[in-house]
């Protein structure tokens, strides 16, 4: 097995035995990126000289000592670009500080290496909305990798990265993980600091790992989780030993199967693979329990009111004055604002800003935003009630495998509906993970990966990872 295709745990053993060096890993990844990433488009940039220097000085005694980790390009890393996949930040902006997760990776001995592509400002489910390039699925270059963390998922799947961090606002880690055949974990809201993540929707965003195994996801989560005084939403609660929890198995656990996630619209082949994953858990000693999450049907409408509303507020900072795109020769201050945003933002970002501004405007706030928040409470209560009966919940990640690039580029509603199985976890603030559960044939001849989603209560990542390990192929 090549170094680039190895897991974190395997590389750590080789590093400890002095069979390889951290520089060897960086150099092999750099060669793989040079050879294959022109076709895939997973990376927007990578600083080889900086990574090699960090690798040469790596402390191999640390938990992630010498392991390169790619970062989604909306997570700040000191001295590196942070474009958010947008023309607005593509020139003239270099991160002046480390995000908390970046600093914690460094403290654990990891080497931040490479900036991965994303839908602009993390708004999308295909990585087609990036203003800088399109990312392709490594399993079939005619198909999307999912989004918005499509670059991170594609890099891990194509062995262009050992592991990566992404962000998940409505499924943006789990859905691309499913489409690319890797593990993608969205932690509970408040488990991981958001300081240094360029905000999309502040009550929904979470940073999490994309990896080649559940074991690696546990290692990465261990490194980045924990309280942070710079993020008031980050909780000061103990962080379990996630790797130790993996060994406990699932015997005696109750796994919920919600009827609302297995109805009309799901590809029969996807459904069959998810049901097989449920059977593996049952064979490992878990009990399957039929449950209901009755407000699931309202998740898409609720999300697409709350998330754009928060985005319209968060993106108001991009005004052409403080950083990023600035229109040339503006007639006045209003013209500067208008043209900088017109020239800097892409169509999907503009669509969501307009929608968010509308639902927050006078006369419409109560009709839309206020009602959406009430439905959000009902969705959260659905999960609270379910978790009184079960320890975890098993569902599909997406209704279908990865679609063709450009297939629905003129149909944003279809894209929004593709997130129907992932949005509710963000609205409820619970933890969730996508684990590969097989593949389905495609007309191209290349099998397309499918993931199974596991959901667990708020701050129950230890249980989540136990179930994911048992479901993992």
- The catalytic site residues sit at 72, 148, 172
Q: What is the DSSP string of 43-72?
A: EEE--HHHHHHHHHT--TTSTTTT-EEEEE
d(CA 207, CA 199): 11
Residue 166 has which token pair?
């992404």
Single out the residue of 468, 435, 440 nearest to residue 174, CA to CA.
Answer: 435
Q: Where are the beta strands (DSSP E) in 42-143?
A: 43-45, 68-72, 111-116
Q: How many CB atoms lie within 10 A of CB 62?
A: 16
Single out the residue of 302, 290, 317, 251 nearest to residue 386, CA to CA.
Answer: 290
d(CA 63, CA 106): 10
Angle 168-463-260 (CA atoms, 0-180°, nearest 5)?
60
Phi/psi of residue 193, nearest 5 degrees:
-65, 140
d(CA 206, CA 92): 26
3-state per-residue secondary structure call for 258-302: EHHHCCCCCCHHHHHHHHHHHHHHHHCCCEEEEECCCCHHHHHHH
Angle 238-224-425 (CA atoms, 0-180°, nearest 5)?
80
Residue 73's alpha-carbon distances to 105, 132, 148, 167, in angstroms, are 16, 11, 11, 10
Residues 6+ away with beta carbon under 8 Å from 262: 271, 274, 395, 396
d(CA 319, CA 354): 15
d(CA 113, CA 63): 17
288 bridge partner residues: 255
Q: At what angle do helices 100-107 and 214-224 cross, to 10 degrees?
A: 110
């Amino acid at each position: 097995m090549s170094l680039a295709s190895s897991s974190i745990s395997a590389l750590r053993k080789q590093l400890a035995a002095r069979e390889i060096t951290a520089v060897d890993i960086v150099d092999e990844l750099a060669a793989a990126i040079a050879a294959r990433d022109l076709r895939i488009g997973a990376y927007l940039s990578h600083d080889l000289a900086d990574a090699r220097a960090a690798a040469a000085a790596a402390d191999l005694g640390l938990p992630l000592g010498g392991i390169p980790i790619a970062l989604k390009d909306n997570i700040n890393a000191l001295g590196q670009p942070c474009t958010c996949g947008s023309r607005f930040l593509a020139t003239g902006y270099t991160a002046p500080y480390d995000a908390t997760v970046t600093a914690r990776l460094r403290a654990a001995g990891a080497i931040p290496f490479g900036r991965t592509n994303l839908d602009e400002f993390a708004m999308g489910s295909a990585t087609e909305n990036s203003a800088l390039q399109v990312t392709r699925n490594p399993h079939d270059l005619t198909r999307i990798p999912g989004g918005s963390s499509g670059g991170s998922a594609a890099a891990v799947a194509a062995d262009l990265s050992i592991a990566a961090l992404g962000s998940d606002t409505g499924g943006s880690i789990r859905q691309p993980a499913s489409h690319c055949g890797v593990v993608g974990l969205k932690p509970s809201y408040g488990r991981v600091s958001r300081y240094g993540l360029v905000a999309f929707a502040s009550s929904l965003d979470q940073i999490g790992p994309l990896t080649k195994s559940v074991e690696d996801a546990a290692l990465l989560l261990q490194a980045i989780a924990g309280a942070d005084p710079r993020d008031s939403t980050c909780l000061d609660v103990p962080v379990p030993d996630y790797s130790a929890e993996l060994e406990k198995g699932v015997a005696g656990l109750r796994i919920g199967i919600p009827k609302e996630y297995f109805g009309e619209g799901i590809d029969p082949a996807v459904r069959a693979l998810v049901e097989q994953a449920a059977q593996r858990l049952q064979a490992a000693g878990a009990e399957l329990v039929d449950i209901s999450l009755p407000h699931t049907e309202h998740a898409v409408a609720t999300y697409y009111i709350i998330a754009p509303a928060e985005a319209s507020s968060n993106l108001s900072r991009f005004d052409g004055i403080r950083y990023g795109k600035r229109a040339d020769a503006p007639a006045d201050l209003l013209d500067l604002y208008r043209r900088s945003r017109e020239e800097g933002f892409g169509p999907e970002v503009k669509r969501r800003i307009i929608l968010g501004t509308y639902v927050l405007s006078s006369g419409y706030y109560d009709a839309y935003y206020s009602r959406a928040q009430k439905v959000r409470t009902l969705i959260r209560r659905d999960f609270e009630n379910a978790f009184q009966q079960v320890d975890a919940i098993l569902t599909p990640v997406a209704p279908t495998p990865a679609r063709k690039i450009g297939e629905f580029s003129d149909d944003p509603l279809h894209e929004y509906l593709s997130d129907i199985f992932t949005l509710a976890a963000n609205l409820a603030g619970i933890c969730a993970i996508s684990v590969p559960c097989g593949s389905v044939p495609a007309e191209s001849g290349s099998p397309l990966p499918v993931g199974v989603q596991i959901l667990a209560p708020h701050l129950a990542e230890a249980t989540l990872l136990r179930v994911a390990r048992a479901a993992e192929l």
